[in-house]
Structure 1
Amino acid sequence: MAERPQIRGKVADIEDRFILLINKGEDEGVELGMIFAVMDPDGAPVIDPDTGDELGRRDTEKLRVKVIDVYPRFCRAETYRMTSPTGILGGGNYGQITDFLSTFSGRERIANQPPAREAQPTQAVVHVKIGDAVREIAASV
Protein backbone atom coordinates (compact mmCIF):
# COMPACT_ATOMS: atom_id res chain seq x y z
CA MET A 1 0.00 0.00 0.00
CA ALA A 2 1.38 3.42 -0.95
CA GLU A 3 2.05 5.87 1.84
CA ARG A 4 -0.12 8.98 1.62
CA PRO A 5 1.63 12.35 1.31
CA GLN A 6 2.17 14.50 4.39
CA ILE A 7 -0.58 17.10 4.81
CA ARG A 8 0.68 20.68 4.51
CA GLY A 9 -1.34 23.85 4.90
CA LYS A 10 -1.43 27.28 6.51
CA VAL A 11 -2.82 28.99 9.58
CA ALA A 12 -6.17 30.33 8.35
CA ASP A 13 -7.26 32.17 11.49
CA ILE A 14 -6.59 32.47 15.21
CA GLU A 15 -9.53 31.84 17.49
CA ASP A 16 -7.92 32.56 20.87
CA ARG A 17 -4.66 32.11 22.79
CA PHE A 18 -4.79 28.33 22.48
CA ILE A 19 -6.78 27.55 19.32
CA LEU A 20 -6.07 28.23 15.66
CA LEU A 21 -7.68 27.20 12.38
CA ILE A 22 -5.82 25.37 9.61
CA ASN A 23 -6.90 25.59 5.95
CA LYS A 24 -7.02 21.80 5.54
CA GLY A 25 -9.86 19.54 6.57
CA GLU A 26 -11.62 16.24 6.05
CA ASP A 27 -11.47 16.63 2.25
CA GLU A 28 -7.65 16.51 2.46
CA GLY A 29 -7.51 13.64 4.97
CA VAL A 30 -7.31 15.54 8.28
CA GLU A 31 -8.58 13.51 11.24
CA LEU A 32 -9.25 14.22 14.92
CA GLY A 33 -6.10 13.97 17.01
CA MET A 34 -3.63 14.68 14.20
CA ILE A 35 -0.61 16.73 15.24
CA PHE A 36 0.61 19.64 13.10
CA ALA A 37 3.73 21.79 13.46
CA VAL A 38 3.46 25.53 12.86
CA MET A 39 6.64 26.57 11.08
CA ASP A 40 8.73 29.73 11.41
CA PRO A 41 8.76 31.38 7.96
CA ASP A 42 12.27 32.77 8.56
CA GLY A 43 13.82 29.46 9.60
CA ALA A 44 17.17 29.10 11.31
CA PRO A 45 20.37 30.07 9.51
CA VAL A 46 22.90 27.40 8.58
CA ILE A 47 26.43 28.82 8.84
CA ASP A 48 29.48 27.34 7.13
CA PRO A 49 32.00 26.59 9.90
CA ASP A 50 34.96 27.33 7.63
CA THR A 51 33.88 30.60 6.01
CA GLY A 52 31.19 31.91 8.37
CA ASP A 53 28.93 32.41 5.34
CA GLU A 54 25.22 31.73 5.63
CA LEU A 55 24.50 28.66 3.49
CA GLY A 56 20.75 29.01 3.68
CA ARG A 57 17.98 28.46 6.20
CA ARG A 58 16.41 25.32 7.59
CA ASP A 59 12.84 24.74 8.71
CA THR A 60 12.26 25.67 12.33
CA GLU A 61 9.17 24.67 14.27
CA LYS A 62 7.33 27.26 16.42
CA LEU A 63 4.84 24.97 18.11
CA ARG A 64 2.67 21.91 17.67
CA VAL A 65 -1.10 21.83 17.68
CA LYS A 66 -3.54 18.93 17.97
CA VAL A 67 -6.71 18.77 15.84
CA ILE A 68 -9.85 19.00 17.99
CA ASP A 69 -12.54 19.60 15.31
CA VAL A 70 -12.59 18.67 11.62
CA TYR A 71 -14.73 20.30 8.93
CA PRO A 72 -14.69 19.52 5.20
CA ARG A 73 -12.24 22.29 4.27
CA PHE A 74 -10.61 23.36 7.56
CA CYS A 75 -9.90 22.17 11.07
CA ARG A 76 -9.53 23.62 14.57
CA ALA A 77 -6.42 22.75 16.54
CA GLU A 78 -5.24 23.62 20.04
CA THR A 79 -1.79 24.11 21.50
CA TYR A 80 -0.23 20.73 22.05
CA ARG A 81 3.45 21.49 22.55
CA MET A 82 5.60 24.59 22.44
CA THR A 83 9.11 24.64 21.02
CA SER A 84 12.14 26.73 21.84
CA PRO A 85 15.53 27.22 20.18
CA THR A 86 16.81 24.35 22.33
CA GLY A 87 13.96 21.94 21.64
CA ILE A 88 10.48 20.89 22.73
CA LEU A 89 8.90 22.38 25.85
CA GLY A 90 6.21 20.63 27.87
CA GLY A 91 3.02 19.15 26.50
CA GLY A 92 -0.74 19.56 26.61
CA ASN A 93 -1.81 23.22 26.52
CA TYR A 94 1.62 24.41 27.65
CA GLY A 95 2.10 28.05 26.83
CA GLN A 96 0.11 30.48 24.78
CA ILE A 97 -0.14 31.50 21.16
CA THR A 98 -0.16 35.28 21.46
CA ASP A 99 0.59 38.58 19.80
CA PHE A 100 -0.76 37.67 16.39
CA LEU A 101 -0.23 40.21 13.67
CA SER A 102 -2.28 39.28 10.69
CA THR A 103 -4.09 40.61 7.69
CA PHE A 104 -7.80 39.90 7.56
CA SER A 105 -10.02 41.33 4.85
CA GLY A 106 -7.30 43.85 4.02
CA ARG A 107 -7.10 45.16 7.60
CA GLU A 108 -4.20 44.60 9.97
CA ARG A 109 -5.11 43.56 13.47
CA ILE A 110 -3.43 42.42 16.65
CA ALA A 111 -5.50 39.73 18.32
CA ASN A 112 -5.40 38.19 21.78
CA GLN A 113 -2.44 40.10 23.13
CA PRO A 114 -2.66 39.59 26.92
CA PRO A 115 -1.34 42.15 29.38
CA ALA A 116 2.25 41.38 30.41
CA ARG A 117 1.10 40.54 33.97
CA GLU A 118 -0.91 37.57 32.59
CA ALA A 119 2.12 35.68 31.34
CA GLN A 120 3.66 33.28 33.83
CA PRO A 121 7.49 33.25 34.10
CA THR A 122 7.61 29.58 33.03
CA GLN A 123 5.03 29.97 30.29
CA ALA A 124 6.23 30.10 26.71
CA VAL A 125 4.77 32.67 24.32
CA VAL A 126 4.91 32.02 20.58
CA HIS A 127 4.12 34.53 17.86
CA VAL A 128 1.90 33.03 15.15
CA LYS A 129 0.65 34.80 12.05
CA ILE A 130 -2.19 33.99 9.69
CA GLY A 131 -0.47 32.42 6.72
CA ASP A 132 2.26 30.62 8.70
CA ALA A 133 2.92 27.21 7.16
CA VAL A 134 1.81 24.06 8.99
CA ARG A 135 2.76 20.46 8.32
CA GLU A 136 1.50 17.18 9.64
CA ILE A 137 3.72 15.56 12.26
CA ALA A 138 1.70 12.47 13.18
CA ALA A 139 -1.75 10.93 13.21
CA SER A 140 -3.50 10.84 16.61
CA VAL A 141 -1.20 10.55 19.60
Structure 2
Amino acid sequence: MNLTQREQQVYDLMITGVSQRTIAKIIGFSVRSVKQHCAHIFKKLDAHSTREVVAKHYIGLGYTNENGMPGAELLSKAERRVYDQLITGVSRKQIAAKIFRTEGVVCFHLANISRKLGTNSMLEIVIKHYTSGQSIEMKEAA
Protein backbone atom coordinates (compact mmCIF):
# COMPACT_ATOMS: atom_id res chain seq x y z
CA MET A 1 0.00 0.00 0.00
CA ASN A 2 1.46 3.33 -1.04
CA LEU A 3 0.53 5.90 1.59
CA THR A 4 2.05 9.34 1.76
CA GLN A 5 3.89 10.31 4.92
CA ARG A 6 0.86 12.23 6.26
CA GLU A 7 -1.54 9.43 5.32
CA GLN A 8 0.73 6.99 7.17
CA GLN A 9 0.61 9.21 10.27
CA VAL A 10 -3.19 9.30 10.10
CA TYR A 11 -3.34 5.54 9.42
CA ASP A 12 -1.09 4.72 12.39
CA LEU A 13 -3.41 6.65 14.71
CA MET A 14 -6.57 5.42 12.99
CA ILE A 15 -5.81 1.76 13.69
CA THR A 16 -5.59 2.51 17.41
CA GLY A 17 -9.17 3.81 17.43
CA VAL A 18 -8.35 7.49 17.87
CA SER A 19 -11.04 9.87 16.60
CA GLN A 20 -10.43 12.17 13.64
CA ARG A 21 -10.62 15.18 15.93
CA THR A 22 -7.95 13.74 18.21
CA ILE A 23 -5.78 12.78 15.23
CA ALA A 24 -5.96 16.40 14.05
CA LYS A 25 -4.83 17.65 17.48
CA ILE A 26 -1.97 15.15 17.70
CA ILE A 27 -0.63 15.78 14.20
CA GLY A 28 -1.36 19.50 14.29
CA PHE A 29 -3.67 20.16 11.38
CA SER A 30 -7.37 20.61 10.75
CA VAL A 31 -10.07 17.98 11.12
CA ARG A 32 -10.94 18.66 7.49
CA SER A 33 -7.42 17.68 6.42
CA VAL A 34 -7.65 14.50 8.51
CA LYS A 35 -10.96 13.65 6.82
CA GLN A 36 -9.35 14.11 3.41
CA HIS A 37 -6.46 11.85 4.37
CA CYS A 38 -8.92 9.27 5.71
CA ALA A 39 -10.82 9.38 2.43
CA HIS A 40 -7.58 8.72 0.52
CA ILE A 41 -6.75 5.83 2.87
CA PHE A 42 -10.23 4.34 2.41
CA LYS A 43 -9.86 4.57 -1.36
CA LYS A 44 -6.39 3.01 -1.38
CA LEU A 45 -7.50 0.16 0.90
CA ASP A 46 -10.90 -0.28 -0.75
CA ALA A 47 -12.53 0.27 2.64
CA HIS A 48 -15.67 2.13 3.66
CA SER A 49 -15.06 2.75 7.36
CA THR A 50 -12.37 3.05 9.99
CA ARG A 51 -13.63 -0.25 11.39
CA GLU A 52 -12.94 -1.93 8.06
CA VAL A 53 -9.45 -0.36 7.87
CA VAL A 54 -8.64 -1.67 11.36
CA ALA A 55 -9.91 -5.18 10.55
CA LYS A 56 -7.95 -5.26 7.28
CA HIS A 57 -4.84 -4.08 9.12
CA TYR A 58 -4.91 -6.90 11.68
CA ILE A 59 -6.07 -9.55 9.22
CA GLY A 60 -3.32 -8.45 6.82
CA LEU A 61 -0.75 -8.91 9.58
CA GLY A 62 -2.07 -12.43 10.12
CA TYR A 63 -3.59 -11.85 13.55
CA THR A 64 -6.25 -14.28 14.64
CA ASN A 65 -8.18 -14.60 17.85
CA GLU A 66 -10.37 -17.69 17.69
CA ASN A 67 -11.94 -17.15 21.12
CA GLY A 68 -12.73 -13.48 20.64
CA MET A 69 -12.24 -10.83 23.24
CA PRO A 70 -12.85 -11.57 26.93
CA GLY A 71 -16.58 -11.95 27.48
CA ALA A 72 -17.30 -13.30 23.99
CA GLU A 73 -18.14 -16.65 25.55
CA LEU A 74 -21.21 -14.97 27.08
CA LEU A 75 -22.69 -14.23 23.65
CA SER A 76 -25.67 -16.21 22.43
CA LYS A 77 -25.40 -18.18 19.20
CA ALA A 78 -27.15 -15.40 17.23
CA GLU A 79 -24.98 -12.71 18.82
CA ARG A 80 -21.85 -14.73 18.03
CA ARG A 81 -22.87 -14.87 14.34
CA VAL A 82 -23.13 -11.08 14.31
CA TYR A 83 -19.85 -10.74 16.25
CA ASP A 84 -18.04 -13.02 13.79
CA GLN A 85 -19.14 -10.80 10.91
CA LEU A 86 -18.47 -7.57 12.81
CA ILE A 87 -14.79 -8.37 13.40
CA THR A 88 -14.22 -8.52 9.65
CA GLY A 89 -15.08 -4.81 9.49
CA VAL A 90 -18.29 -5.04 7.47
CA SER A 91 -21.24 -2.67 7.97
CA ARG A 92 -24.51 -3.44 9.78
CA LYS A 93 -26.25 -3.65 6.43
CA GLN A 94 -23.71 -6.17 5.12
CA ILE A 95 -23.95 -8.21 8.33
CA ALA A 96 -27.73 -8.33 7.94
CA ALA A 97 -27.42 -9.55 4.36
CA LYS A 98 -24.83 -12.21 5.24
CA ILE A 99 -26.81 -13.70 8.12
CA PHE A 100 -30.22 -13.25 6.46
CA ARG A 101 -31.69 -10.95 9.13
CA THR A 102 -32.99 -7.39 9.08
CA GLU A 103 -30.75 -4.48 9.95
CA GLY A 104 -32.97 -3.86 13.00
CA VAL A 105 -32.27 -7.36 14.31
CA VAL A 106 -28.54 -6.81 13.76
CA CYS A 107 -28.71 -3.51 15.69
CA PHE A 108 -30.51 -5.31 18.54
CA HIS A 109 -27.77 -7.95 18.67
CA LEU A 110 -25.03 -5.30 18.44
CA ALA A 111 -26.51 -3.48 21.43
CA ASN A 112 -26.51 -6.72 23.42
CA ILE A 113 -22.97 -7.53 22.31
CA SER A 114 -21.73 -4.07 23.36
CA ARG A 115 -23.45 -4.40 26.73
CA LYS A 116 -22.05 -7.89 27.39
CA LEU A 117 -18.53 -6.96 26.30
CA GLY A 118 -18.52 -3.55 28.00
CA THR A 119 -17.78 -1.57 24.84
CA ASN A 120 -19.18 1.64 23.41
CA SER A 121 -18.73 1.14 19.68
CA MET A 122 -18.33 -1.39 16.91
CA LEU A 123 -14.81 -0.05 16.30
CA GLU A 124 -13.89 -0.71 19.91
CA ILE A 125 -15.09 -4.32 19.56
CA VAL A 126 -12.94 -4.85 16.47
CA ILE A 127 -9.83 -3.34 18.08
CA LYS A 128 -10.28 -5.29 21.32
CA HIS A 129 -10.92 -8.51 19.41
CA TYR A 130 -7.53 -8.35 17.73
CA THR A 131 -5.58 -6.85 20.63
CA SER A 132 -7.01 -8.75 23.61
CA GLY A 133 -4.23 -10.24 25.66
CA GLN A 134 -2.56 -13.56 25.19
CA SER A 135 -5.24 -15.13 22.99
CA ILE A 136 -3.77 -13.34 19.96
CA GLU A 137 -1.70 -15.59 17.78
CA MET A 138 0.12 -14.95 14.57
CA LYS A 139 -0.84 -17.29 11.76
CA GLU A 140 2.06 -19.33 10.49
CA ALA A 141 3.13 -18.35 7.00
CA ALA A 142 2.32 -21.35 4.86
TM-score relative to the length of structure 1: 0.25
Query: Taking CA–CA contacts closer than 8 Å with sequence separation of 6 or more, which of the two structures ends up with the larger relative contact order?
Result: 1
TM-score relative to the length of structure 2: 0.25
Bigger helix share = 2
Bigger strand share = 1
